Amino acid sequence: MRCIICGKEKEESLFTDEHIFPDAIGGCLIIENVCKDCNDYLGRKVDCGLTEDFLVKLARYAHKIPNKQREIINPFSNLREESTNRSVDFTIDKKTGEPKAPYVFPGPIQFEEKTGTLSFSLDVKDRNKAKDIVRKYAKRKNLPTPTEEDLQAMLDNATVCSERPLLSGKVKLNPNAVGKGMLKIVYEMAYYWLRDCYLSDPVAEEFRRYLLNEDVNEPQIRGSLCVGLDIFKKLPQNVCKDSSHEAFLMRAGNRLYAMTRVFDCYEMRACISEDATKYELADDDMPCIILDAVGRVKQEGRRNDFWFG
């Protein structure tokens, strides 16, 4: 059996199921012609650029698509409360994805010497740590050790307020990494539809060179990545949902293009062959596939049936 990524002939036992659209985003379309080594490499170096992208993680979270460990991932990390700049931990229930009350890390202690007043803020969940915090502070600053009565009085007089903090965080987007993940889908969809005769296409060769080489960031492939939806928004809404992925082929002049989209996050239009005539595909017979990422079901047919049927 020959691997469609590294091109090597290997024993069948050295192959494993490859998800064209990654499993982490609810992909349920599988091919068997990728060797274990390449499958592993693609997962670590290519797919993750797409699945770990912030917009994609938001969609995975919004549609409650679990990872391999059957857990819902939390797209929010390193948040801060805007007015005080305190760190806030936002956690979710890994089974249901429901957010838990945010946890606010302890704020700095302020000591006013004139009045001898100590003030600090804590998350209400840390209430039982308050006495210890004061004892340690007093020791560090060589202040008189507070009595148990003082400490209890402090707790009894503490103000508890319920806040609705405005949280902010930083997001990094890496279009190169997203683009690589999208182009892997394009290449494997091209193989899925055109089968073995696609492997000798010069554009297919360029795809493999790009996918297998970590240093190639600008492939010689005609393609464009779009954030949000441009082409696919024209599909009827009952077919094309925010929680689905799609791909179809189309011809423009002598070129054959594959269009793919992942959720309502990204779409990629890429040329998969400079010589469309090789593949004997009529314009009204272009294949199309729609994957429901939540139900993990696929619908296959001709593009025209989905778009105009």
Q: Which is nearer to Zn ion, 38 or 189 (CB)?
A: 38
Is residue 35 part of the contact set for Zn ion (CB under 5 A)?
A: yes
Radius of gyration of the chain from Cα atoms? 27
Q: What angle do CA 99, 103, 107 make, to 5 degrees?
A: 160
| Residues 82 and 166 sit within 8 Å (Cβ to Cβ) | yes
Q: Which is nearer to Zn ion, 11 or 149 (CB)?
A: 11
Is residue 38 part of the contact set for Zn ion (CB under 5 A)?
A: yes
Residue type, 5: I
Least Å from the CB of residue 35 to Zn ion: 3
List of long-range contacts for 201-210, beta carbons under 8 Å, 24+ apart: 201/272, 201/273, 201/275, 201/278, 202/274, 203/271, 203/272, 203/273, 203/274, 204/272, 204/273, 207/183, 207/272, 208/5, 208/6, 208/7, 210/180, 210/183
Least Å from the CB of residue 203 to Zn ion: 19
User: Contact region for Zn ion (CB under 5 A) — 36-44, 85-93, 215-223, 264-272?
Assistant: 36-44
Is residue 5 part of the contact set for Zn ion (CB under 5 A)?
A: yes
Residue from 3, 182, 268, 293 in contact with Zn ion (CB under 5 A): 3
Residue 287 half-sphere exposure, CB side, CA atoms within 13 Å? 14
Is residue 6 part of the contact set for Zn ion (CB under 5 A)?
A: yes
Q: Which is nearer to Zn ion, 5 or 268 (CB)?
A: 5
Is residue 4 part of the contact set for Zn ion (CB under 5 A)?
A: no
How many angstroms from the chain centroid is the CA of residue 283? 34
User: Contact region for Zn ion (CB under 5 A) — 4-12, 103-111, 188-196, 261-269?
Assistant: 4-12
Is residue 211 part of the contact set for Zn ion (CB under 5 A)?
A: no
As given in the structure block, the two tokens for residue 13 are: 């036992």
Residues ≥6 apart with Cβ < 8 Å to 96? 64, 72
How many angstroms from the chain centroid is the CA of residue 209? 25
Least Å from the CB of residue 14 to Zn ion: 9
Least Å from the CB of residue 4 to Zn ion: 8
Least Å from the CB of residue 45 to Zn ion: 13
Placement of tokens 């008189």 in the chain: 144
Q: Which is nearer to Zn ion, 5 or 262 (CB)?
A: 5
Please tell me the distance from the alpha carbon of residue 254 to that of residue 252, in angstroms, as a whole number.
Answer: 6
Least Å from the CB of residue 43 to Zn ion: 13
Least Å from the CB of residue 7 to Zn ion: 7
Is residue 24 part of the contact set for Zn ion (CB under 5 A)?
A: no
Size of the site for Zn ion (CB under 5 A): 5
Interface residue list for Zn ion (CB under 5 A): 3, 5-6, 35, 38
